[in-house]
Structure 1
Amino acid sequence: MKEEVTDIGDYMKVFACTAVMMQSVLSMVLATSPSQNYQITIGIIYNLVKFTAPVFIFGILYSTTRNSKKKYLPYLKTQWSALFIPTIIWTSIYLLVFPKLQQVNSYHNIGGFIWQFVNGNAAPHLWYNTMMLQFIMLMPIFWILADFIKKNRNYTFMIVAVSTVGYFIWIYFYDLTVFNGVHNQDWYLLDRIFISFIIYGILGTLAWVKRVQLEKIIKVIWPFLILSFIVVFAWTNRELFSFGFPIHLSNAPYYKPSMTIYSLVIIGLIITIAIKQINSSSKNLPLIHFLATYAYRAYLSNVFWLQIIWQFGGKNIAYINPLLGIITCYLLTWILSFSSAYIFHIIWSKAKRVVL
């Protein structure tokens, strides 16, 4: 595979960020109690974009394994600026400006504020930050894995097999005790512990180390991936609609065999697109890399902008025509999220130069 500035991880980040904004919009429009036909449409679209967290984790581990010099403190310093500071800023904004967006509980004192801040309950989408930042902190483990595979190439299949079996055991445990179990409410934090997405981190790391072999495999199996997408997508929709109406998007969690397989198939399809465009030196590469650079910050802000759009006309459009409301709110949210991510980055960079 050609060595390009734009890599497979960039494609993963852009696809994930673009799709996750749609999840936020769909949740808000569904809360307006649209007709059953619109609920079906929302459910189908939601399942279509329900791959974001796995894809983002895969992309981050791929790009980090590729670009990292494996020096932990310099690495953390870089991530502090790129990830932790935006997280701190946006989490504070949600808790102070839109406190009603808090999940599970609300803060009433300093201790409660800190707890909501760190556990991902400050806004509907911030649970993901709590999980993803754990991967950033644990990156040395994945460096060790990458080095091990480089020195012991014959162990790749075994690692993939053991990881897959172990992960599906975890999913079975989660389904038995949480999703369909007695701990549905009190064990909700399990969905933001890194182990719940560990397989995507492992595969993202291996994908870079074994990139040459991966490209050969993808060029052979991509038609099978398309067929698998159709079958598994139908499976996820059947599961969601089996719960009846009204539709509850919480009935489509990541921690199911169907959703896991769907996420892996989507990862394979995105790799297919990325390989084709990278190898052909597509004109899209600079744009993909640019968007990937600001994807995480755009993700952090998307619910903030959606709230504003919703209050200044988005809600009214959704009540009149839910589909038009989805399209309008989504496009405006995407534009404002990426634009603000870029503008705030420029402002922050200039402010640092003045202060330092």
Structure 2
Amino acid sequence: MSDLPRKERITEIETLRGIAFAAVVLQHSIAHYSLVPQAGLQDGIVLALLLMLAKFAVPLFIFITGMVLFYNTRDQLHYGQFMRKRVMDVILPYVVWSLIYFILAPRNWTEFGWQDIPDLALKLVTGKTASHFWYIIMLIQFYALFPLFLRGIRYVYHRYQAKGRMIALLVSGVLFLVLSDQLRNIAGWMEQLQIPVLTDAFTTYADRNFIYFFFYFVLGAAAGLSVQRWNEWIIRLRWVYWLVFITLGLRFIYLLMLEFQQPEGLQIRFYTVSLIRPDMILFLVASIMVMYQLAGKLHQHQVLHWLGWIGGMSYGGYLMHMLVLRYSYIPDEWLYVAWGWNPSVRMIVTWLVALGVSCMLTWLISRLKWGKWIVGVVPKHTQVSKTTVSTRK
């Protein structure tokens, strides 16, 4: 039992998790309703606006991961114990839900045989059993490489003063922008080299390669190593990141409006707002800072306490929410269409239903003796006013 004093709690963390998870479910709800036949241009505008307001979800989760890991890790990292906890709390529930999604796929009921085992194994390793599991694979890479990040970032932190640390952070940000701008060229080079595993990591599976998301983790690490200074910068730069957030957000909405207008007619699609592009990265970094400020305001004014509870349910909810969404579309087809609701209203209702059901199921499963193997570790008492920093996500 360590006799080191416990660190103060970062009260925004679970609120941020709640915001990020709600945004994930919203994005996937938008993706479904953008394809319904009844969706018109007015729905496209609403969906585009909501999508840009929710686009920060995955980068914010990565930021939270970096922040809590660097905040909680003391002078010495016990890597074996660290990874054992991740295997039990993150990887095992992921495997369980991967098997659930795989089994529930229509063709697997009748056609699966022993010859399909290698295909299943590949899908588990690459996160292909469900469309949203790419994030889990990318998250595991950060866990596996955490000692390298820890050594490098702590070296900069202890060697340089505040100005030097800021320069190092800016340099890593510029490198990140260059990498994202060269995404296609890097994929082309790797395709020519045909290096086993590595080529696939930069081509077929580039969307889950940690290298294309590392800056959000580094930004979280910077915040976790110096929370007070991070909070000062959140206050000091508020006009800058709000201006970037609004300006680039409106620009992306305009670009989406142009993308909707196709020669064959209206098509609501969102290829323009890929996560890996320089201007989107600037927007997402600004979004993270906006959400962090809002999380602090929500806590300060005791508003929306349920976001902290949603944050506590976020990992199990993330794993199951696509399945919950699948069944949430049933009342949409039976009732919402018959009642004459437009697609935007149907989407919002379905989003709230799926969000609530995912969180409730996670809470109920977590109460079971074996629940942590399915939904990970869930706080027994999650409150916004008393949130303990966790390394689970």
**Deviation string, structure 1 residues 87-146 (Cα, Å, up to 9, x no partner):** 111111111113579xxxxx9711112212221222221111111121122111232134
1:270 aligns with 2:291: yes
TM-score normalised over the length of structure 1: 0.86
Q: Is this contact kept in 2: 1:25–1:306, CA < 8 A?
A: yes
The Cα shift of 1:148 comes to 1.7
Q: In the alignment, residue 79 of structure 1 is paired with which amino acid?
A: R
Q: Is this contact kept in 1: 2:30–2:347, CA < 8 A?
A: yes
Once residues 120 and 315 of structure 1 are traced to their aligned partners in structure 2, the CA distance between those partners, rounded to angstroms, is 32
Q: Is this contact kept in 1: 2:58–2:135, CA < 8 A?
A: yes
The Cα shift of 1:36 comes to 2.3
Unaligned regions of 5+ residues in structure 2, if any?
A: 1-6, 109-113, 193-199, 374-393
- Aligned to 1:247, the other structure's residue is in SS state coil
Once residues 86 and 369 of structure 2 are traced to their aligned partners in structure 1, the CA distance between those partners, rounded to angstroms, is 15
Q: Is this contact kept in 1: 2:321–2:358, CA < 8 A?
A: yes
1:223 aligns with 2:239: yes
Cross-structure match for 1:257: 278
CA separation of 1:170 and 1:296: change in aligned 2, threshold 3 A: same
Cross-structure match for 1:5: 9
Total equivalences in the alignment:
341
CA separation of 1:301 and 1:258: change in aligned 2, threshold 3 A: same
Cross-structure match for 1:292: 311
1:15 aligns with 2:25: no
Cross-structure match for 1:25: 29
Within-5 A mapping of 1:1-356? 4-33=8-37, 34-69=39-74, 70-98=77-105, 109-154=116-161, 155-174=164-183, 187-243=203-259, 244=261, 245-276=266-297, 280=300, 283=302, 288-314=307-333, 317=336, 320=340, 321-349=342-370
The percent of aligned pairs where both chains have the same amino acid is: 19
User: After the TM superposition, which of the residue ranges 169-178 and 16-25 deviates more from structure 2?
Assistant: 169-178
Q: Is this contact kept in 2: 1:314–1:328, CA < 8 A?
A: no
Once residues 285 and 32 of structure 1 are traced to their aligned partners in structure 2, the CA distance between those partners, rounded to angstroms, is 32
- Aligned to 1:26, the other structure's residue is in SS state helix
Q: In the alignment, residue 48 of structure 1 is paired with which amino acid?
A: L
**Deviation string, structure 1 residues 158-215 (Cα, Å, up to 9, x no partner):** 3212211211111111155669xx99x9924101000010000111101111222222
CA separation of 1:67 and 1:349: change in aligned 2, threshold 3 A: farther
Once residues 307 and 326 of structure 2 are traced to their aligned partners in structure 1, the CA distance between those partners, rounded to angstroms, is 27
**Deviation string, structure 1 residues 274-328 (Cα, Å, up to 9, x no partner):** 44466x4x64697555433321211111111000111343575268420221111
Q: Is this contact kept in 2: 1:26–1:42, CA < 8 A?
A: yes
TM-score normalised over the length of structure 2: 0.78
Q: In the alignment, residue 135 of structure 1 is paired with which amino acid?
A: F
Q: Is this contact kept in 1: 2:157–2:165, CA < 8 A?
A: no
The Cα shift of 1:226 comes to 2.1
Once residues 314 and 81 of structure 1 are traced to their aligned partners in structure 2, the CA distance between those partners, rounded to angstroms, is 38
Task: Considering fraction of residues, name the structure with more helix.
Answer: 1
- Aligned to 1:157, the other structure's residue is in SS state helix
Quote the RMSD (CA, aligned, Å). Answer: 3.0
Once residues 333 and 88 of structure 2 are traced to their aligned partners in structure 1, the CA distance between those partners, rounded to angstroms, is 33
Greater relative CO (CA pairs within 8 A, separation 6+): 2
Q: Is this contact kept in 2: 1:11–1:59, CA < 8 A?
A: no
- Aligned to 1:109, the other structure's residue is in SS state helix
Once residues 129 and 351 of structure 1 are traced to their aligned partners in structure 2, the CA distance between those partners, rounded to angstroms, is 17
Cross-structure match for 1:104: none
Unaligned regions of 5+ residues in structure 1, if any?
A: 102-106
Q: Is this contact kept in 2: 1:7–1:63, CA < 8 A?
A: no
The Cα shift of 1:42 comes to 1.5
Q: Is this contact kept in 2: 1:8–1:62, CA < 8 A?
A: no
Once residues 292 and 71 of structure 1 are traced to their aligned partners in structure 2, the CA distance between those partners, rounded to angstroms, is 27
Once residues 99 and 201 of structure 1 are traced to their aligned partners in structure 2, the CA distance between those partners, rounded to angstroms, is 37
CA separation of 1:133 and 1:100: change in aligned 2, threshold 3 A: farther
The Cα shift of 1:4 comes to 4.2
Once residues 107 and 277 of structure 2 are traced to their aligned partners in structure 1, the CA distance between those partners, rounded to angstroms, is 30
CA separation of 1:286 and 1:241: change in aligned 2, threshold 3 A: closer
Q: Is this contact kept in 1: 2:35–2:268, CA < 8 A?
A: no
Once residues 308 and 6 of structure 1 are traced to their aligned partners in structure 2, the CA distance between those partners, rounded to angstroms, is 36
Once residues 14 and 256 of structure 2 are traced to their aligned partners in structure 1, the CA distance between those partners, rounded to angstroms, is 30
